[in-house]
Amino acid sequence: MRRLVTIPCAGETIAATLDPAEGDTALLIVSGGNELRIGAHRGMALLAASVAAAGYPVLRYDRRGIGDSTGTNAGFLSAAPELVAAATWLRAATGAKRIVGFGNCDAATTLALFHAQAGIDRLLLANPWVVEPTNDLPPPAAIRATYAQRLVSPSAWRRLLTGRVNFRRLTRGLATLATARRVPTGLTNRFFEGLGSGVPAEILLARTDHTARAFFAAWQLRHLSPLRARIPLHHHDSASHSFARPADRDWLRARILAALSRD
């Protein structure tokens, strides 16, 4: 039966939910952004119940300062204490011999950066956030993909010719492309350095999601070829960042169960 639990963390208390099961491999779900552990559209709660029904215990938690957790929300780059506390508690409470960490967006980045501190054995990283934003526009890779689609779209040309286009935003987007350099940012470097620990990992991307497109552009950098050879990347034909549609949820569940079943 699902249990609500609290976990001590750096002088504060993080709220968590355990879906128990008998298996000795456990799933730790890390929430992204300022999202509660229930997930968008209850997605993470539904996922946890489904995975537990397949025999794997699942823990979800709220970062400090989020939801029912105490303390100050310092963002995903300061979330190592929560990750360590949650993984330690999960291992002790369930007797798990292996922990697979799953996160979407900046939660994937948290896992890439801090999994070694938490002793996590395998990573599933969905739509990882590797962009350091400079304005309110999407990442350059996403802008390029969007413009490429519009160039072959008759409806987009009709909007342009009839003046139904936000020219100010268009100009800013073109300026971003003109000045963007295809070089890794500090966050991008930190992300891939984290994966250099050698931990087994897989990347999951919603093919037409902006964040996924930005990650995929970074993933193509030449110096990352050793990582590409070792870490599989799986594309799902969707624009849903949170894998919200039934077909998206089924695909995500299948990928997670496959990872949990691996030695």
**Domains of the chain with bracketed CATH:** 3-132+185-261 (3.40.50.1820), 139-182 (no CATH)
pLDDT, position 245: 95
The pLDDT value recorded for residue 90 is 98
Section 107-135 average pLDDT: 92
Tens of pLDDT, residues 224-243:
999 999 999 999 999 999 99
Instruction: Sheet containing 233-236: give its strands across.
Output: 3-9, 12-19, 58-61, 25-30, 98-104, 122-126, 201-206, 233-236
- Asked if the model's pLDDT at residue 10 lies above 80, the reply is yes
If residue 101 lies in a helix (H) or strand (E), which one and from where to where?
A: strand 98-104
Average model confidence (pLDDT) across the chain? 87
Statement: residue 210 has pLDDT above 50: yes
Average pLDDT, integer, range 176-196: 73
Does the pLDDT value for residue 80 go beyond 80? yes
**What per-residue confidence (pLDDT) applies to 137?**
45
Q: At what angle do helices 140-151 and 154-161 cross, to 10 degrees?
A: 90
Return the pLDDT at 34: 93
Q: pLDDT tens, 146-155? A: 444 444 456 5
pLDDT per residue as tens digits for the range 58-78: 999 999 999 999 999 999 999
Amino acid 222: pLDDT: 85
CA 70 vs CA 79, 81, 87, 88: distances in Å:
13, 13, 18, 19
Residues 59, 236, 129, 112, CA torsion sign? positive
Residue 142 has pLDDT above 90, yes or no: no
Question: Per-residue confidence at 144, pLDDT binned at 50, 70, 90?
Answer: very low
- In which element (H, E) is residue 188 found? helix 186-195
d(CA 204, CA 146): 21
Give the per-residue pLDDT at 155.
Answer: 59
Q: Which amino acid is at 184?
A: P
* pLDDT(88) > 70: yes
Q: How far is CA 239 from CA 134, 152, 154, 163, in A?
A: 23, 19, 21, 27
How much of the chain, in percent, has pLDDT values that exceed 70?
Answer: 80
pLDDT for 22: 96
Q: Tokens in use for 204?
A: 């999951």
- The mean pLDDT value for 80-104 works out to 98
Find all residues with CB under 8 Å of 54, minimum gap 6, and list them.
21, 257, 260
Mean pLDDT of 84-102: 98
Lowest pLDDT segment from 94-98, 106-110, 177-181, 227-231: 177-181
Q: What are phi and psi of 261, to 5 degrees?
A: -80, -10
Would you state the pLDDT for residue 148? 44
